[in-house]
Structure 1
Amino acid sequence: MGDDQVRGARRGPGRPRQEHVTQAVLDAVVDLVSESGMAALTMDAVAARAGVSKPAVYRRWSTKQDLVIAAAESRIGPLEVADLGDFRSELRAVLTARMATYRQPGVDRLLAGVIGAAAEEGAVRAAFGAYATRVTSETRHVLERGIARGDVRPDADVDATVTLVASSLLFRLVAEQRMPDEALVESVVDLIGRAVAARS
């Protein structure tokens, strides 16, 4: 075995290590925010909690804003719902998946931190808007699929409906400080379903 092969064998493949570092950093952000709030979130604190160097953090995320968005997306990211043949069933699937995610430890404070960070002076609003678009993309897809299938009104305001769906569980969690539950999911499905149902 040549010298290059020996060095390669010792080092091992790069990607698993890179993924490990990324996950450790994102987990550290969630832990710090859930324990102490956004005030505790500094690049130094994240690096120390993750057990990595500060340059390793900056190589992946150049700003704290980018890091917060990445951490949020690691917990609350895009999802996919299969075509169930019925808008209400698909909306229920979206909301149930989100409810399960929101009930994880620390997610309430993380989401509150993301919302607060988006309102800070100097925040790049487009970055937060792009994250929100990714997170709500399946609700939009479900609505558009319902319109194409005929069980959602063709004149339904898709943008407004997406906002209402996303905000229902989020407001319950962050503003009301109560965990969203199945009863809320069913109420939202019923209210939104009746509002956008195709007229017979």
Structure 2
Amino acid sequence: MGRRRGEALEAAILEAAWDELNERGYANLTVDSVARRAGTSKPVLYRRWADKRELVEAAVEHRGIIRPVTPADTGSLRGDLIATLTELSEERGPFLTQLSLLLAGYFAEAETSFAELRDTLLAGRRSGRDEIMERAVERGEIDPAKLTPRIASLPFDLLRSETMMTRRPVAPEVIEEIVDTVFLPLVR
């Protein structure tokens, strides 16, 4: 195998960083261990990333784990929310909870949060949540005067909280309760 350069080398390093993060967590991951695993040297890593924190951010971004929500379009606010929350719960929920545990040392060191990391990695991209809410306003299903940013994020925040507490996908009846009992009465 020839010497890797450019994108191939960078991808190998980011995969190595991801593997180290999964096995050791942020606190025990070192630039040296990533370099060894990637079959390269520390100076090669430091030419691309200033420190361990930047390397881990790049690895998380490279894996595409934190990405915008693809909103369902069922024709109704209730249907869109239930379908989107269900997909999030089944595909990402427990894994994102695990990721937040792996990154606990990162959040402490960077004095940041999962929300801030998400905002950094998604900068400039349109929010699926906002798309759902905008469509519902256009259809007349939501009173825009009642739709504050906190209320718009509420169903997603409650789903995340439930997932973090159980570390399992959220039951369909719980998702329906979040939408029907908590969210919809606030926006109508």
Structure 2-normalised TM-score? 0.70
Pick one of 129, 149, 157 that aligns with 1:159: 149
**Aligned to 1:37, what secondary structure does the other structure show?**
helix
User: 2:33 corresponds to which residue?
Assistant: 45
User: 2:100 corresponds to which residue?
Assistant: 111
- Of structures 1 and 2, the one with the larger relative CO (CA 8 A, separation 6+) is 2
Pick one of 139, 142, 146 that aligns with 2:136: 146
Q: Distance in 2 between matches of 1:103 and 1:193?
A: 23
**Aligned to 2:144, what secondary structure does the other structure show?**
coil
Q: Answer whether contact 1:161 1:192 (CA < 8 A) is retained.
A: no
Gaps (5+ residues) in structure 2? none
Percent identity of paired positions between Structure 1 and Structure 2: 31
Q: Distance in 1 between matches of 2:105 and 2:180?
A: 31
User: 1:70 corresponds to which residue?
Assistant: 58
Equivalent position amino acid for 1:94 in 2: T
Q: Distance in 2 between matches of 1:185 and 1:144?
A: 21
Change (3 A) 1:193 1:163: closer
Q: Distance in 2 between matches of 1:162 and 1:61?
A: 36
Q: Answer whether contact 1:65 1:123 (CA < 8 A) is retained.
A: no
Aligned length: 181
Matched, 1:80 2:80: no
Write out aligned runs for 1:4-83 (5 A).
18=7, 20-73=8-61, 74-83=64-73
Equivalent position amino acid for 1:76 in 2: I
- Give 1:62 shift: 2.7
- Give 1:21 shift: 4.0
Structure 1-normalised TM-score? 0.67
User: 1:102 corresponds to which residue?
Assistant: 93
Q: Answer whether contact 2:66 2:121 (CA < 8 A) is retained.
A: no
Q: Distance in 2 between matches of 1:123 and 1:58?
A: 22
Q: Answer whether contact 2:82 2:175 (CA < 8 A) is retained.
A: yes
Q: Distance in 1 between matches of 2:145 and 2:162?
A: 28
Query: Which structure has the greater CA radius of gyration?
Result: 1
RMSD of aligned alpha carbons: 3.6
User: 1:130 corresponds to which residue?
Assistant: 119
